[in-house]
């Protein structure tokens, strides 16, 4: 049947220029970067590229001693690579759904495992979650991004954004928490009754409590973070 021909397959799946700018969702799970300069991306996320592009692993001291020490202390599981050049770069991360955010002098926290790529115009810093160090596999860390530029984040399946207001705080499972607004500082709370009820290991009893004004993004999946060798 013609609907299953190679020509039809190519027609349905071929790359298309949508003219959306620097970051473009080629599919819901594939990010196209229209590169003319530099971009930061998660190590190992390159699927394909065309043009003249070079890749460099982030230098050990590229971001200063402060961030180096933080990475050592947090057992950070995500390394970055810098792509330089001109061309089209395609990024993906284990088939996770990709969301693009344009920060306009905003700030956002992203779970380190869910950060796919961001423009070099953005300032960023690693934030430690001291309360859960050693309490969860690999520990947890997040990256705060500030300024003007684009960032691509990933989630297992469709993300859900919950609004946080002073009279209506939100409590989440850390393993299902993807990102939150820069105005929020989560507090870690332990619920022994939940741990007993679910009977599912120490991680289940730890929750993140968001209070104030802002938003938090969650996914319908509990990710387990394993510390990797740098």
For the segment 1-32, what is each residue's pLDDT rounded down to a tens digit?
578 888 988 888 888 887 778 999 999 999 99
Residue 62: beta bridge partners? none
Kindly state which CATH superfamily the domain 21-218 is placed in. Mitochondrial biogenesis AIM24 (3.60.160.10)
In angstroms, rounded to a whole number, what is the distance separating the alpha carbons of residues 135 and 64? 28
Contacts of 137 by beta carbon, 8 Å cutoff, 6+ apart: 203, 224, 225, 226
Residue 49: beta bridge partners? 89
- Whether this prediction's pTM lies above 0.75 is answered by yes
> pLDDT > 90: what percent of the chain?
54
**Confidence at residue 230, expressed as pLDDT on a 0 to 100 scale:** 33
- Would you place residue 58 in the very low, low, confident or very high pLDDT band (cuts 50, 70, 90)? low
Chain mean pLDDT for the chain: 83
**89-138 pLDDT per residue, tens:** 999 999 999 999 999 999 999 998 899 999 999 998 887 765 555 555 44
Look-up of token digits 């971009």: 39
In angstroms, rounded to a whole number, what is the distance separating the alpha carbons of residues 109 and 178? 9
**Confidence at residue 80, expressed as pLDDT on a 0 to 100 scale:** 83
Who has greater pLDDT, 29 or 224?
29
Residue 50 has pLDDT above 50, yes or no: yes
> pLDDT > 70: what percent of the chain?
77
3-state helix, strand, coil split of the chain in percent (to 5) is 20, 50, 35
Buried b (16+ CB within 10 A) or exposed e, 166-188: eeeebebbbbbbbbbbeebebee
Residue 98: beta bridge partners? 154
In angstroms, rounded to a whole number, what is the distance separating the alpha carbons of residues 18 and 132? 42
Nearest CA to 89 out of 132, 145, 30, 139 is that of 30
Q: 48-52, 122-126, 140-144 — which one is most confidently predicted on average?
A: 48-52
Residue 204 has pLDDT above 60, yes or no: no
């Amino acid at each position: 049947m013609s609907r299953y021909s190679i020509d039809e397959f190519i027609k349905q799946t071929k790359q298309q220029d949508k003219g959306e700018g620097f970051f473009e969702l080629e599919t819901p799970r594939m990010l196209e970067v229209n590169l003319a300069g530099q971009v930061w991306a998660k190590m190992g996320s390159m699927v394909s590229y065309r043009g003249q592009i070079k890749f460099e692993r982030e230098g050990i001291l590229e971001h200063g001693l402060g961030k180096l020490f933080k990475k050592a202390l947090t057992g950070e599981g995500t390394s970055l690579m810098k792509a330089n050049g001109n061309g089209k770069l395609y990024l993906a991360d284990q088939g996770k759904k990709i969301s693009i955010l344009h920060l306009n002098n905003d700030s956002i926290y992203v779970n380190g495992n869910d950060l796919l790529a961001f423009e070099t115009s953005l300032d960023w810093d690693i934030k430690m979650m001291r309360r859960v160090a050693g309490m969860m596999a690999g520990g947890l860390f997040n990256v705060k991004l500030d300024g003007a530029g684009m960032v691509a984040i990933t989630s297992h399946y469709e993300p859900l954004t919950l609004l946080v207001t002073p009279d209506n705080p939100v409590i989440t499972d850390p393993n299902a928490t993807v990102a939150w607004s820069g105005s929020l500082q989560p507090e870690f709370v332990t619920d022994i009754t939940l741990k007993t009820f679910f009977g599912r290991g120490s991680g289940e009893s730890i929750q993140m409590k968001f209070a104030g004004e802002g938003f938090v993004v969650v996914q319908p999946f509990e990710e387990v973070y394993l510390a990797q060798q740098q």
